[in-house]
A and B are shown apart, each in its own frame.
Chain A
Amino acid sequence: MAALATAVADAEAPAPQQAAGGRRTFPVWRWVIMLVAAAYFLIPLYSALRFAGFKAFTQVTSYPSFGTAFALSLRLAVIATVLTLVLMVPTTVYVYLRLPRIRRLLEAITILPIVIPPIVLIIGVLRLAPGFLKGTPNLLGLEYVVLAMPFAYRSLDAGLRSFDVKTLVEASNSLGAGWPTTLWRVVIPNLRTAMLSATVLTVALVLGEYTMASLDNFQTFPVWIVNFEQNSGPVSVAASLLALFVTWLLLMLIVTVGSRSSRKRGGAQVTLFSVSTATVGRTVGEPE
């Protein structure tokens, strides 16, 4: 599944100033738009529920292939997340603090995985990959890190911008703490929300990723869903709904944790659903 744009928003996604003395009242067309939109978005969901039927939901987990596929996806998600964090947290912090001039460059690099569609990326990877990696799903896990990179970077960068890193680091250094201590005790604890965001986004990404997995011939959860349609359409639909539900849960998790910690800090936080024009909006158009 996907991950969307992350950017710094003002505390708690700002409510706009409405031009007072509200006039221009044409509420009719507004209702029409909202109704059409609601219909378009809700009807497919409802159709899926009807199509699948109650039975299919209970059946989903009963197939052994489901368990294997889901376990594989989870395993890949864990690998990818750990690798992403291990790679991106130190890098982002380091660049932010010690190489600020190449921040722009880094931002540009992290846009690349978006410019290169996963379908193209995976065929390139498969072209090049050494034999020992090709047979295992680990290749996928490694490549998922590349896919997750933009989102991890944005989250972490936004997190770094939300508190005065420089001052805290200088204070910590002046009190005698070395770099490792400062990183571990000062910087990273303040990045918890951002790291959680990055984690959730990576997990959501991996759990929903179909393109690369299918071309690499590994049956992750989404691949299983597609393959299983031959056996039972309703089960596939039910599994899809479950997948969407999990996505929704994960996203809500970020939102609640994010807003809670933002209230505590009263500053800008990583917000999932708001894209500010001041930062280059970045998205993966189709959740892959």
Chain B
Amino acid sequence: MADSTTAAVAPEAVASGARPSRVTAAARAILRYAGVVPFTLYVAAGLVAPMIAIAVSAFQPARGGFVASHASAPTLSNLNTAVHGTYLTGLQNVLLLSLATAVVPAIFGFLIAYSIHTARRGIVLRRVVITAAGVFANFGGVPLAFLFIAALSTTGVVTGWINDVFHFEIWNHGFSLYKPYGVALAYLYFQIPLMVLVILPALEGLRPAWREAAENLGARSWHYWRHVAGPVLLPSFLGCVLLLFGGGLSAYATAEALTGGTIALTPIQIGALLNGNVLAGQENLGYALGLILVVIIAVVMVGYTMLQRRAARWLR
């Protein structure tokens, strides 16, 4: 790395009287970019290439393989399977699950952020909540699954409490941690803190002068929220909803650890198709599902980025 940078500097340092040729200028430009070659190679090999492989394989017939010598003719059969039957259910479930674990935490997280924001003597509370949020947002995956197993499985502590107090055994009445809503309950654990961490700075970006100016001009609380604070916060709020939504779509470990891979969710199904335990030879279907997932998330992230730009403009 150092070599390329010194090389980039050296030509400039050697500013002799010779007329700079176009070749030298071009060579210098190339040398400048040499510094990012290692990174580019790594990203190409570790990120781009796998994605291309997936994209290509997604259109290969299900039971074929990718034969190096000649690829089978691209087919849409995998995509077709992906949107029918149990895989369609998987897609529907994961979309609904992500939506639910985006909207509910968005509202609840906002309320939490709002309570801190408007608390008198709120400095200590704020620091505690932010730290807690930061920590809880990182509790996820396998450990989180086991927390909820410990709490709400058939032998869970909370299940036991409810039974003792209300004489109501929830599992006998249809509750299951292994259905989408059970998984959703666990997802809230990291989605809510995330919302708090994103929306709190946005709330704090609301200048007091705006509220006072509004009041001075005759607006009561409701008007202020309707005309000023609401519109200003909306991009951040929606952006965070999208962020949470994308996060829900990506999640695998929590659901897998919680349900043992038995739940119909697209990420889980992808894993099942590709760890060879279920149906050997259906890998390309897995790739197709993966492709679909990535496309959806990409769209979501684009939306998120646009909203963030808008938010940044107003809340500067």
Within 8 A of A (CB), among B265-287: 267, 270-271, 274-275, 283, 286-287
- A285-B250 CB under 8 A given contacts A37-B108, A237-B149: yes
Which of the 9-residue segments A59-67, A156-164, A190-198, A268-276 touches chain B?
A268-276
Which of the 9-residue segments B80-88, B166-174, B308-316 touches chain A?
B308-316
Q: How far is the CA of A13 from the CA of B293 in the complex (A)?
A: 35
Whether A208 contacts B147 by the Cβ 8 Å rule is: no
Instruction: Check if B95 is an interface residue, CB within 8 A of chain A.
Output: no
Whether A120 contacts B293 by the Cβ 8 Å rule is: yes
Q: How far is the CA of A190 from the CA of B120 in the complex (A)?
A: 38
**Closest chain A residue to B148, Cβ basis:** A44
Whether B32 contacts A120 by the Cβ 8 Å rule is: no
Q: How far is the CA of A134 from the CA of B291 in the complex (A)?
A: 23
Provide the residues of chain B in CB contact with A90, threshold 8 Å: 1-2, 35, 38
Whether B189 contacts A19 by the Cβ 8 Å rule is: no
Whether B254 contacts A286 by the Cβ 8 Å rule is: yes
Q: A277: which of B135, B140, B315 is its contact (CB, 8 Å)?
A: B315
Instruction: Check if B181 is an interface residue, CB within 8 A of chain A.
Output: no
Instruction: Check if B133 is an interface residue, CB within 8 A of chain A.
Output: yes
The size bracket of the interface on A is 35 or more
Q: A286: which of B120, B127, B140, B203 is its contact (CB, 8 Å)?
A: B140
Q: A287: which of B54, B139, B157, B208 is its contact (CB, 8 Å)?
A: B139
Is the contact region of chain A dominated by helix, strand, or loop, or is it mixed? helix
Whether A286 contacts B141 by the Cβ 8 Å rule is: yes
Within 8 A of B (CB), among A165-206: 178-180, 183, 204
Whether A46 contacts B157 by the Cβ 8 Å rule is: yes
Instruction: Check if A267 is an interface residue, CB within 8 A of chain B.
Output: no
Whether B50 contacts A287 by the Cβ 8 Å rule is: no
Q: How far is the CA of A286 from the CA of B205 in the complex (A)?
A: 27
Q: B120: which of A18, A236, A237 is its contact (CB, 8 Å)?
A: A18
Provide the residues of chain B in CB contact with A47, threshold 8 Å: 147, 150-152, 156-158
Whether A241 contacts B250 by the Cβ 8 Å rule is: no
Whether B151 contacts A204 by the Cβ 8 Å rule is: no
Provide the residues of chain A in CB contact with B205, threshold 8 Å: 277
Count how many chain B residues have C-beta atoms less than 8 Å from C-beta atoms of the other chain. Answer: 119
Provide the residues of chain A in CB contact with B42, threshold 8 Å: 87, 145-146
Whether B6 contacts A208 by the Cβ 8 Å rule is: no
Instruction: Check if B198 is an interface residue, CB within 8 A of chain A.
Output: yes
Provide the residues of chain A in CB contact with B151, threshold 8 Å: 43-44, 47-48, 51
Q: Return A238 CB to nearest CB of chain B, in Å.
A: 9
- A277-B312 CB under 8 A given contacts A5-B197, A123-B274, A215-B274: yes
Whether B250 contacts A286 by the Cβ 8 Å rule is: yes
Instruction: Check if A76 is an interface residue, CB within 8 A of chain B.
Output: no
**Closest chain A residue to B212, Cβ basis:** A19
Q: How far is the CA of A87 from the CA of B42 in the complex (A)?
A: 9
Provide the residues of chain A in CB contact with B149, threshold 8 Å: 51, 233, 237
Q: Return B273 CB to nearest CB of chain A, in Å.
A: 9
- A128-B50 CB under 8 A given contacts A33-B112, A51-B150, A119-B271: yes
25 inter-chain pairs at a CB distance below 8 angstroms, sorted by A residue, are: A4-B137, A4-B197, A16-B117, A17-B207, A17-B208, A30-B115, A30-B119, A41-B189, A44-B151, A47-B158, A51-B155, A91-B1, A91-B39, A117-B267, A117-B294, A127-B66, A210-B256, A211-B256, A215-B271, A240-B145, A240-B147, A241-B143, A244-B147, A283-B194, A285-B247
Residues of B at the A interface (CB closer than 8 Å) are: 1-2, 5-6, 8-9, 32-33, 35-36, 38-39, 42-43, 46-47, 49-51, 53-54, 57, 66, 108, 111-112, 115, 117-120, 122-123, 126-127, 130-152, 155-158, 187-192, 194, 197-198, 200-205, 207-208, 211-212, 221, 236, 239-240, 243-244, 246-254, 256-257, 267, 270-271, 274-275, 283, 286-287, 290-291, 293-294, 297-298, 301, 305, 308, 311-312, 315-316
19 additional contacts (CB under 8 A) given A29-B115, A121-B51, A211-B141: A3-B138, A19-B211, A24-B221, A50-B157, A98-B35, A106-B36, A115-B301, A119-B271, A121-B50, A124-B54, A127-B283, A145-B46, A208-B141, A236-B146, A273-B134, A280-B305, A281-B198, A287-B140, A288-B253
